[in-house]
A and B are shown apart, each in its own frame.
Chain A
Amino acid sequence: DTAVSQTPKYLVTQMGNDKSIKCEQNLGHDTMYWYKQDSKKFLKIMFSYNNKELIINETVPNRFSPKSPDKAHLNLHINSLELGDSAVYFCASSQTNRAGNTIYFGEGSWLTVV
């Protein structure tokens, strides 16, 4: 029944590997996001999709590629992982013009690159 669910929750992988994090929301929202939280706990937006269309693409290495097959899903694929990619990645969603556009977060995916 989780509103925003992301998998896997924990991921340990070696440098150079390619990995994906999946996200699904069952809230019927039209906008989805990926945020990155680094070791200093700073939260920074990476991407935002509205109705499957990319609307925010912050300065993120092109090794990161989001994919939105439909409004309810936004997956994050990362190529050639680097040590600095270690972080917690949060998927989130919101509905335009409802509840102050409140963003609802998933539980986070802890990525560790070794």
Chain B
Amino acid sequence: AQTVTQSQPEMSVQEAETVTLSCTYDTSESDYYLFWYKQPPSRQMILVIRQEAYKQQNATENRFSVNFQKAAKSFSLKISDSQLGDAAMYFCAYRSALGNDMRFGAGTRLTVKP
């Protein structure tokens, strides 16, 4: 079974600065998708960014970008120009191209300091 590991239970960043959240995963498959979800205190799960494993180019969504290293099975999230509203739990997730569910990491709690 695929596993997703987020080694940083908590991170903090100063407003307007950049922070990187780490994620590694374990799989024997070659075709899969990786995701970062944000969960603010409201508990809503919000999709931040998605990466297809067959694409070499790193996904980018405004201030959010990923560093996808397929050989190393690493998928980190970079948040640039951090804002107070970025404070939340961030979950890394893996989904097989053939599978029917999504496996989540344990989450990283991000604090943004004004």
Q: Which residues of A contact B (CB under 8 A)?
A: 31, 33, 37, 40-45, 48, 50, 55-56, 88, 90, 92, 99-105, 107-108, 110
Contacts and interface: CB of A to CB of B under 8 A. Distances in A.
Given A31-B100, A42-B106, 7 more contacts: A41-B106, A42-B107, A44-B104, A100-B35, A107-B42, A107-B43, A107-B44
A108 to B, nearest CB: 5
B45 A105 contact: yes
B interface, how many residues as a size bin? 20 to 34
A9 to B, nearest CB: 10
Interface of B: 33, 35, 37, 39, 42-45, 47, 50, 52, 89, 91, 95, 97, 100-104, 106-107
Q: Which secondary structure dominates where chain A touches chain B? A: strand
Contacts of B39: 41
Contacts of B47: 102, 104
Nearest to B97: A101
